[in-house]
């Protein structure tokens, strides 16, 4: 059983912020806080192991290379990938999806081919496909939501598109707004059963931090996530893809480090995954990501997931109490992250977030980089509380109490 109060002691920011008043951090959906072990790993790299990688012959350079490549192996194991050469370090999830859009889809799809996404996507998994539509004329289809904010993926069968031309299905695993967890394995099986020969890309930015992910069990073809949402440093993300796909994909950026033989006339690219990592890598961020994985593994991803479930249960119970509070997201506990996007009748999300800040509560208000979803929800913006291993049920209870106060303060 995970004890959030004890977990907080591992994160320096909580003690530091609490010196000046209450501090309840409910914005992990935007970025996670960092344990001391991750912060120390980054500093320690620069204090003891800093050199450029894959280049030097001297001992320090070798140690730096090992530190970096060990994390690649660690990530592969964390995802149950069949090989560490299936792990590409990118800048973040956005960049990983762009790599698939430009390096694979733009190369192999043609005008009239269909890319399927959903109505609950983050802009990271909308805009690259809109650009592809504008550049090469793919058809972009958005799978709808049902009344419970779950994905109606079966709607694909009655959509006005040629199913034989569906070449890519790119889906968010866990919605950063609704908290809905989409059944990827079930969706992949559905596609196969219906003879839809599409590759599947999973945006796992909100799920890799929160549960055990097994890319072989999910049976997808590409998966992307970010370090900074799972206790790691910002600036690095991961694209996992099946090796045979990486081998035929084009890199996003070209230049140094990702090459083999270079002449004035011609350049050969390096083997995967180096082909996709241009220039000097995100050295300290990768090392920090390794430390983040170690920290999560010391807790156990089952414990992390069970903690989430406790918070989901508690949050749903709270939001059911106020009929003036609209909760955008499933009202049932199964397949749901501890992310609560809501509106209070007559009160703007900006004001809610500002007033909560007076009590040291950090939530996000806005469109959460999901404007296409906001228009489906019939609003421009919501307030969002998102939880992680350092949140207790009492954080949500306090949030709720302060929301009631905010309603009283601002009601005209």
Using DSSP, state whether 307 is helix, strand or coil.
Answer: helix
Q: What separation in angstroms does the CA of 99 have from each of 73, 78, 197, 248?
A: 21, 22, 21, 12
Q: Binding of another protein at residue 50 (CB under 8 A)? A: no
Pairwise CA distance, residues 341 & 326, whole Å: 8
Confirm or reject binding of residue 176 to another protein (CB under 8 A).
Answer: no
In whole angstroms, the minimum distance from the beta carbon of 358 to another protein comes to 4
Tokens of 301: 């991803």
**Residue 127 is a binding residue for another protein (CB under 8 A):** no
* 378 contacts another protein (rule: CB under 8 A): no
Tokens of 351: 């004001």
Catalytic residue among 220, 362, 369, 387: 369
Q: Which residue has the tokens 């140690």?
A: 63
Question: Is 350 a residue that touches another protein (CB under 8 A)?
Answer: yes
Rounded CA-CA distance 256/187 in Å is: 39
Please select the residue that binds another protein; options are 31, 110, 298, 354, rule is CB under 8 A. Answer: 354
Window of 171-179, 282-290, 347-355, 390-398 that interacts with another protein by CB under 8 A: 347-355
Q: Residues 228 to 287: which contact another protein by CB under 8 A?
A: none
Minimal distance in Å, beta carbon 353 to another protein?
9
DSSP state of 338: S
Q: Which of 160, 122, 120 lies closest to 141 in space, CA to CA?
A: 160
Cα–Cα distance for residue pair 225/271, rounded to 1 Å: 22
- Interface with another protein: number of residues (CB under 8 A): 18
H or E stretch covering 200: strand 199-203
Q: Is 369 a catalytic residue?
A: yes
Q: Which of 127, 259, 366, 376 binds another protein (CB under 8 A)?
A: 366
Give the per-residue contact string, 295-334, with another protein (x = CB under 8 A; - = no). Answer: ----------------------------------------
Within 8 A by CB and 6+ apart from 266, the residues are none
Residues in contact with another protein by CB under 8 A are 348-351, 354-355, 357-358, 365-367, 371, 379-381, 409-410, 412
Residues serving a catalytic function are 369
């Amino acid at each position: 059983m995970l004890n959030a109060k004890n977990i907080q002691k591992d994160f320096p920011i909580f003690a530091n912020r609490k010196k000046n008043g209450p501090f309840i951090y409910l914005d992990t959906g935007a970025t996670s806080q960092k344990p001391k072990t991750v912060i120390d790993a980054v500093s320690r790299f620069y204090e003891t192991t800093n050199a450029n990688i894959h280049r030097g012959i001297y001992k320090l350079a070798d140690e730096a290379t090992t530190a970096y490549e060990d994390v690649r192996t660690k990530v592969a194991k964390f995802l149950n990938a069949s090989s560490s050469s299936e792990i590409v370090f990118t800048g973040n999830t956005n960049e990983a999806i762009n790599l698939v859009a430009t390096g694979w889809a733009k190369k192999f799809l043609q005008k009239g081919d269909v890319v399927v996404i959903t109505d609950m996507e983050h802009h990271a998994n909308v805009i690259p496909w809109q650009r592809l539509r504008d550049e090469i004329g793919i058809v972009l289809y958005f799978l709808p939501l049902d009344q419970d904010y779950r994905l109606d993926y079966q709607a694909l069968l009655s959509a006005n598109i040629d199913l034989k031309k569906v070449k890519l299905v790119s889906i968010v695993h866990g919605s950063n707004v609704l908290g809905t967890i989409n059944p990827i394995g079930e969706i992949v099986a559905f596609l196969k059963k219906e003879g839809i020969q599409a590759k599947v890309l999973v945006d796992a930015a909100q799920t890799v931090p929160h549960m055990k992910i097994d890319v072989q069990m999910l049976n997808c073809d590409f998966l992307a996530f970010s370090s900074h949402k799972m206790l790691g440093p910002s600036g690095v993300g991961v694209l996992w893809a099946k090796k045979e796909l990486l081998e035929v994909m084009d890199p996003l950026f070209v230049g140094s480090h990702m090459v083999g033989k270079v002449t004035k006339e011609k350049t050969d690219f390096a083997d995967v995954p180096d082909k996709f990592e241009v220039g000097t890598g995100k050295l300290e961020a990768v090392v920090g990501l390794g430390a983040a994985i170690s920290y999560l593994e010391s807790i156990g991803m089952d414990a992390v997931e069970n903690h989430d479930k406790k918070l989901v249960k508690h949050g749903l119970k709270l939001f059911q109490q106020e009929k003036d509070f609209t909760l955008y997201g499933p009202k049932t506990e199964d397949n749901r992250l501890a992310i609560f996007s809501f509106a209070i009748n007559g009160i703007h999300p900006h004001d809610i977030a500002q007033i909560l800040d007076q009590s040291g509560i950090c939530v996000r208000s806005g469109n959460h980089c999901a404007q296409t979803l906001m228009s489906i929800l019939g609003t421009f913006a919501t307030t969002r509380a998102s939880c992680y291993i350092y949140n207790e049920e009492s954080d949500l209870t306090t949030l709720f109490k302060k929301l009631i106060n905010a309603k009283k303060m601002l009601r005209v």
